[in-house]
Chains A and B, each alone.
Chain A
Amino acid sequence: MPPERSAATANHEILAVKGLNVSYGASKVLFDVGLSVRPREIVACVGRNGAGKSTLLKTIAGFLKPDSGSIRSGQTSLAGLKSYEIARMGIKYVPQDKKVFSDLTVRENLELGSYASKDYDWERITGYFPKLKQLMDRKGGYLSGGERQMLMIGRALLGRPQALLVDEPAEGLAPSIVSHLREVLRELSAHTALVLVEQNLPLVCAIASRVYALKEGRVVAELADRESIRPDVCERYL
């Protein structure tokens, strides 16, 4: 196990974001955003389109450079690290667009994940997503939205990440797939901390242990107890 990964123990926050400011050119998108993720937590970020939820995940994943603020995993600062270095530390990002490598088969997509993480335990992945087993030789470009989502999450799970950043996992998926995904995410949280960006409030409220409401780039509420994590409460902040 790399030293960075062992740094985040049960006593540490797996992710601690403080005073994060991010801009796209001259346009500022995040203002002093803070967020905390502990082991086995499911943390959700909710908010309307343009609230800065995806920007927050992309910044944690190293895809965007913050103007200021800190992002730490255990004792390690993630600021300034490249996205592949952050992924190797066990903080994996699953983007929103559900675009897998279309010319590669499911098997090849998983092999890429396996080789990078040195984790070849595919039984665990197909345990979560049995359908992938039947699709091994199908090219990514021919998968449905739900199958792509399974593949992307499954590939990200290789290497047993300490945190999974999942951007809008339920977007555009059929209700039956969303309910399967909900159960998988719940199971995953036993081993991996999850940060979800999601607009599907029933899904969020069913599984999240902490919710951050973002509005116009600012955290306007943090709901940390199960009593207050309800769709009607979350909706008030949107």
Chain B
Amino acid sequence: MCVSGISSDTGVSMVNALRWWWGILLAFSLLAAARLVAPLPFVIEVIIFSIYTMGCNFLLGRVGFISFGQPAYLAAGAYGTAFYLFYFGTDPYVGILVGVLSGLAVSAIVGPLFVRLRSDYFALVNLALAGIIYYLMQKVLAGITKGDNGLWFLTRIASNPVLDLGKPGQFFIFAMLVAVAVWALYKYLDDSIFGACCLATKLNEDKLEFIGYSNYRVRLLAFVVANTTTALAGAMYAVYLGFVSPEITSPHRAPDPVVVTILGGTGTLYGPIVGAVAYTGMKDAISKVIGNWELFIGFLLVFIMLAGEKGIWGSLAPRLEKLFSWRKAGTAGGDGGEARR
């Protein structure tokens, strides 16, 4: 964001932009390369999980809202897509669009009420919403959601000559493209006045109002953007699996995106990708050799959090930047600098 005459010159800005794109292309190239050595379902899950986490990461790292209700918005996206593909149509792209719009609608309905709350109440009310949606999908609306049996629509997904989302290999390419686009969106938001407003409302909400901004509007917009991203992840899960059940919004899965956000590095742009790789990788690797893998992962996460509260990328980034002299001398660093890496 450079709006003044006293800003960095265009050359430096271009170099910075190239550096960012180089970084993200490298990260996603590594994910693409992982396909050669890791099972495709694992890589696809990492990609969708990283999209799921990006919204949570923005809320927590930028706005200061911790949400234990992300499965609610994930379910809004997943069920929106599932209802379309099960009852109305066969085009997976339209299904994903319906899922995203469902998430947008749910966020826009509950957002005006939720964003007025303090962060601790915000966390709990979102958890309650996840519980409500779980119960709705499992019991109250069982007639149309098929309850615990879920909605199965894999065979109804129509093929497409460009990218056939019914085929895992082509879905993988689609997921990569979406993930890069979502990452670019958050990079843009981070660098915009809106991103600065979000960080400012986290740091000192009163002062933001004294400058002339409405905290409420800033928070509401951030909430809607973040949860619509979460719904997009839900819609992608639905198309990929061809199946949705109430399990997707189960409250016991509620801490997952928060854990992945903190594990990766709260407020960092690469954190969601790194966190998703680490978390999904640990789950996948450990569950193959240990029966009670949840217990083991719990202890491992406690250890990782205690060892470095900045998360994996938050701890690694300063070392990498030092190593490659990425950072321009005299800029940034120190407290909260990770929010922009």
User: B-contacting residues of A (Cβ < 8 Å)?
Assistant: 61-63, 82-84, 87-88, 92-95, 99-105, 107-108, 110-117, 120, 122-123, 126, 133, 136-139, 141-142, 155-156, 159
- Interchain CA distance A107-B213 in the complex, whole Å: 18
- Interchain CA distance A137-B214 in the complex, whole Å: 26
Contact check: which of A61, A133, A137, A138 meets B210 at CB < 8 Å?
A61
Q: Is the CB of B207 within 8 A of A99?
A: yes
Q: Is the CB of A126 within 8 A of B6?
A: yes
Contact A103:B336 (CB < 8 A) given known A88-B212, A111-B193: yes
Residues of A within 8 A of B6 (CB): 107, 122, 126, 133, 136
Which of B249-257, B279-287, B326-334 is found at the contact surface with chain A? B326-334
With CB as the reference atom, state the residue of chain A lying closest to B1.
A111
Residues of B within 8 A of A111 (CB): 1-4, 193, 196
Residues of B within 8 A of A120 (CB): 3-5
Q: Is the CB of B206 within 8 A of A63?
A: yes
**Is there a chain A Cβ closer than 8 Å to B274's Cβ?**
no
Q: Is the CB of B203 within 8 A of A82?
A: no
- Interchain CA distance A103-B7 in the complex, whole Å: 18
- Interchain CA distance A142-B215 in the complex, whole Å: 25
For B6, B193, B335, B336, the residue with the greatest tally of chain A CB atoms inside 10 Å of its CB is B6
**Is there a chain A Cβ closer than 8 Å to B200's Cβ?**
yes
**Is there a chain A Cβ closer than 8 Å to B204's Cβ?**
yes
Q: Is the CB of B200 within 8 A of A87?
A: no
**Is there a chain A Cβ closer than 8 Å to B294's Cβ?**
no
Interface of B is mostly: loop
Q: Is the CB of A84 within 8 A of B209?
A: yes
**Is there a chain A Cβ closer than 8 Å to B199's Cβ?**
yes
A and B contact pairs by CB, cutoff 8 A, 24 listed: A84-B210, A84-B213, A95-B207, A101-B204, A101-B207, A102-B203, A103-B335, A104-B196, A105-B332, A111-B2, A111-B4, A111-B193, A112-B193, A112-B197, A112-B200, A112-B213, A113-B212, A120-B3, A122-B4, A122-B6, A123-B5, A137-B332, A139-B332, A139-B333
Residues of B within 8 A of A100 (CB): 207
Q: Is the CB of A116 within 8 A of B4?
A: no
The interface size of chain B toward A, counting residues with CB under 8 Å, comes to 33
Residue interface bits B172-203, CB-to-A below 8 A is 1, else 0: 00000000000000000000010011011001
Contact check: which of B200, B210, B336 meets A93 at CB < 8 Å?
B210
- Interchain CA distance A50-B158 in the complex, whole Å: 72
Q: Is the CB of B3 within 8 A of A103?
A: no
Q: Is the CB of B4 within 8 A of A107?
A: yes
Residues of A within 8 A of B207 (CB): 95, 99-101
Q: Is the CB of B3 within 8 A of A112?
A: no
Contact A95:B3 (CB < 8 A) given known A103-B339, A105-B332, A137-B330: no
Contact check: which of B193, B199, B330, B331 meets A101 at CB < 8 Å?
B199
Contact A159:B210 (CB < 8 A) given known A101-B203, A111-B4: no
**Is there a chain A Cβ closer than 8 Å to B15's Cβ?**
no
- Interchain CA distance A156-B208 in the complex, whole Å: 11
- Interchain CA distance A110-B207 in the complex, whole Å: 13
- Interchain CA distance A117-B3 in the complex, whole Å: 13
- Interchain CA distance A24-B339 in the complex, whole Å: 36
For A63, A102, A115, the residue with the greatest tally of chain B CB atoms inside 10 Å of its CB is A115
Residues of A within 8 A of B337 (CB): 103, 139
User: A-contacting residues of B (Cβ < 8 Å)?
Assistant: 1-7, 193, 196-197, 199-200, 203-204, 206-215, 330-337, 339
- Interchain CA distance A60-B203 in the complex, whole Å: 23
Contact A83:B209 (CB < 8 A) given known A107-B7, A108-B1, A112-B197: yes
- Interchain CA distance A138-B203 in the complex, whole Å: 17
Residues of A within 8 A of B211 (CB): 84, 87, 92, 112-113, 116, 155-156
- Interchain CA distance A30-B335 in the complex, whole Å: 39
Please give 14 more A-B residue pairs, beta carbons under 8 A apart, in addition to A84-B210, A139-B332.
A83-B210, A84-B214, A101-B196, A101-B199, A102-B203, A103-B203, A105-B332, A113-B211, A123-B5, A126-B6, A137-B330, A137-B331, A142-B334, A156-B210
Top-4 shortest CB links A-B = A103-B336, A116-B212, A87-B212, A83-B209
Q: Is the CB of B212 within 8 A of A84?
A: yes
Question: Would you give the shortest CB distance from B199 to chain A, in whole angstroms?
Answer: 6
Q: Is the CB of B210 within 8 A of A101?
A: no
Question: Would you give the shortest CB distance from A209 to chain B, in whole angstroms?
Answer: 25
Q: Is the CB of A139 within 8 A of B196?
A: no
Q: Is the CB of B210 within 8 A of A103?
A: no
- Interchain CA distance A116-B213 in the complex, whole Å: 7
Residues of A within 8 A of B213 (CB): 84, 112, 116
- Interchain CA distance A32-B207 in the complex, whole Å: 27
Residues of B within 8 A of A107 (CB): 2, 4, 6-7
Residues of A within 8 A of B203 (CB): 101-104
- Interchain CA distance A137-B337 in the complex, whole Å: 12
Contact check: which of B204, B212, B334 meets A159 at CB < 8 Å?
B212
Residues of B within 8 A of A62 (CB): 209
- Interchain CA distance A115-B331 in the complex, whole Å: 22
Q: Is the CB of B336 within 8 A of A92?
A: no
Residues of A within 8 A of B7 (CB): 107
- Interchain CA distance A105-B199 in the complex, whole Å: 12
Q: Is the CB of B209 within 8 A of A87?
A: yes
Question: Would you give the shortest CB distance from B339 to chain A, in whole angstroms?
Answer: 6
